[in-house]
Homo-oligomer: A and B are copies of this chain.
Amino acid sequence: MRDSVTILQEHGIQPSAQRVAVADYVLKTVEHPSADLVWTRVKARVPYISRATVYNTLNLFVEKGLLRALALAEDSVVFDPNVDRHHHLVDESGAIHDIPWDKVQVCNIETLKGFEIHDYQVVMRGVRKSARRKS
């Protein structure tokens, strides 16, 4: 994994202590966390960080292309460090799983008359089958 400081600098972001702490967590996670979950996670290592800074930082990262904000569930937006095209499966438990772009194909998108499609993804609802039986 690349150094958070370097990544921020490459994107024209001053690597303050707070921003680096947020980046260390949110750019590597697979949790698709809400802003408040990011706050909780980051506070574990930087207890003095404020809620406003977490929101500021997440919005800045989205603006600079380091994160995507996703509206997949009611109640809160969720952040995704995977900015490449991919699909999502929203587990009944609330967890969100990435589905690689090439695992499913969407056909005839380009033939849709009357619309100019800038972006798309398949959003699935379901459950993750328990990986192999536990016993």
A-to-B contact residues, CB < 8 Å: 69, 71-74, 77, 89, 92, 97, 99, 103-109, 112, 114-129, 131
Expressed in whole angstroms, the minimum distance between the Cβ of A75 and any Cβ of chain B is: 8
* Cα-based distance from A92 to B131 in the complex (angstroms): 39
Q: Kindly identify which residue among B73, B97, B124 contacts A109, using a CB–CB cutoff of 8 Å.
A: B124
* Cα-based distance from A119 to B121 in the complex (angstroms): 14
Copies per complex? Answer: 2
Q: Report whether B131 and A114 are in contact in the complex, using a CB–CB cutoff of 8 Å.
A: yes
Closest residue of B by beta carbon distance from A124: B120
Q: Report whether A73 and B71 are in contact in the complex, using a CB–CB cutoff of 8 Å.
A: yes
List chain B residues, Cβ under 8 A from A105: 106-108
* Cα-based distance from A89 to B69 in the complex (angstroms): 17
* Cα-based distance from A116 to B129 in the complex (angstroms): 6
Q: A114-B131, A115-B128 are in contact. List 11 more A-B contacts (CB 8 A).
A: A74-B77, A97-B115, A103-B112, A104-B109, A104-B112, A105-B106, A106-B106, A115-B124, A116-B128, A118-B127, A123-B123
List chain B residues, Cβ under 8 A from A117: 89, 124-126
